[in-house]
Structure 1
């Protein structure tokens, strides 16, 4: 709950109504264009909390898992980060 309150406060400071959550990888060797889909949601907690969960779930969808396998990458090697765009 504390994390959600911190996120809510940070998001309010952006002063926008819509956010884009984009998952990216810290590893420059893996190209994720077209693999990890962005999630667009409103800034209300009941919208952005599921949005964050959904963007993290992108790592485990069928398309992503097939790509990681084809690149011989284990999930712990991915080093994912979430980019938040207003």
Structure 2
């Protein structure tokens, strides 16, 4: 084995883009993109969840189906709890 082969730099993958912010493992760092929001992550699912939770972007709202009730929530379980607490629907007494 030649010594100079031990110091050869690994080739970058074909999809490597220069000028993109990366972490120490080479994964792309994604920023939120909303004004004045400093959030950064390396995982696209976490960025999607952050935008939905903090900024209300791409949120599918669940709403209460009772008459004259305007309650909305991001999670179906919250609507179910609302129905139990406010409208006494599907209440299981123990």
TM range (shorter): under 0.3
Which has the higher relative contact order, 1 or 2, with Cα contacts under 8 A spaced 6 or more apart? 1
**TM-score, normalised by the number of residues in structure 1:** 0.27
Structure that is richer in strand per residue = 1
Structure that is richer in helix per residue = 1
